[in-house]
Structure 1
């Protein structure tokens, strides 16, 4: 296995967030050759404004740089009012016009399996942006009202197991896409 860098974004700004706990746990559960970097700048992004794209704000440039250095993206976003959280949608809007997202493998994590609207909306947005969702890597885990933090997620096999399996499937999908790209260039 080649070393992989994966960026993980929680669509929640809450200090105690199940979505953040899930991706932080994944960063610790990742195999040795896989680095899952948790993006922490979501709250620093200004509201999307196409007029600023020629002179990117520093926070946006940092997000684009982190994504450009990654071979995949993990998104864990809560559902608010049957949709994607505003801060998550704002981050995705900043990435729409860049090359960093095109054909990028994406894994979705849902921490409240009854919250299906945000997942459907994320799938639509990611597909529109030409991201490549690795379906068998997407995971729903019942964290809502569990009171589990990152350590609790890691220590709870019925949560940690599906997250690890999803990450394994995601890594396999990234590697398969890389092999397909290698064959296409021959």
Structure 2
């Protein structure tokens, strides 16, 4: 089973991106997780370019099409969705790759509920397979990169991440087409 984990942050030392890479590292042999941390490479959405999208948009759409499920992790910027993530969603909204795709959220902060509420509404509109009940939250805000790594490698969080991935894999299983 293949998951695409999309970071909603353009920041290099993003705690949300670090959490997605930690999920990748705890995935069992039955799961393949690719982390997409290049939202900053997407051009600003323009409906005029939808029929012949830029290469970066086509690459993201292809990665989504090849995934059995999507995991989104995003920070909150001024109580809202970061512009880069909203831009990516705008590029995807009229495409077929995300329709019916299982989607869940992860979050690396103890706060951000306003953004999460907005994102849940958008994702429920984007895909009828968005599961708001499957949610991973590990507070990492204001930790140094070394502290983030130590926190994510703690046995308690490793088990929490494995359980989240197992639950998501079980949720995705009915949607996966067997050969």
Same fold at TM > 0.5: yes
Select which of 53, 69, 72 maps to 1:75.
72
Select which of 159, 173, 176 maps to 2:174.
176
Find the residue that maps to 1:121 and give its secondary structure: helix
Alignment match, 1:52: 49
Alignment match, 2:25: 28
CA RMSD in angstroms, aligned pairs only? 1.8
Stretch of structure 1 that moved more, 14-23 or 40-49: 40-49
**Unaligned regions of 5+ residues in structure 1, if any?**
none
The reply on whether 1:155 has 2:153 as its aligned counterpart is yes
Alignment match, 1:17: 14
**Unaligned regions of 5+ residues in structure 2, if any?**
none
Find the residue that maps to 1:107 and give its secondary structure: strand
The reply on whether 1:39 has 2:36 as its aligned counterpart is yes
Stretch of structure 1 that moved more, 152-161 or 168-177: 152-161
Find the residue that maps to 1:137 and give its secondary structure: strand
Alignment match, 1:112: 109
TM-score normalised to structure 2 length: 0.91
Which consecutive segments of 4 or more residues in structure 1 shift more than 4 A? none
- How much does 1:131 deviate? 4.4
Find the residue that maps to 2:51 and give its secondary structure: helix
**CA–CA separation in structure 2 for the residues paired with 1:128 and 1:93:** 12
What is the count of residue pairs matched by the alignment?
A: 177
Find the residue that maps to 1:38 and give its secondary structure: strand
- How much does 1:130 deviate? 2.2
Q: Structure 1 68/84 Cα, relative in aligned 2: closer, same or farther at 3 Å?
A: same
**CA–CA separation in structure 2 for the residues paired with 1:126 and 1:75:** 10
- How much does 1:157 deviate? 2.5
- How much does 1:134 deviate? 2.5
TM-score normalised to structure 1 length: 0.88
Find the residue that maps to 1:79 and give its secondary structure: coil
Select which of 86, 91, 99 maps to 2:83.
86
- How much does 1:43 deviate? 1.0
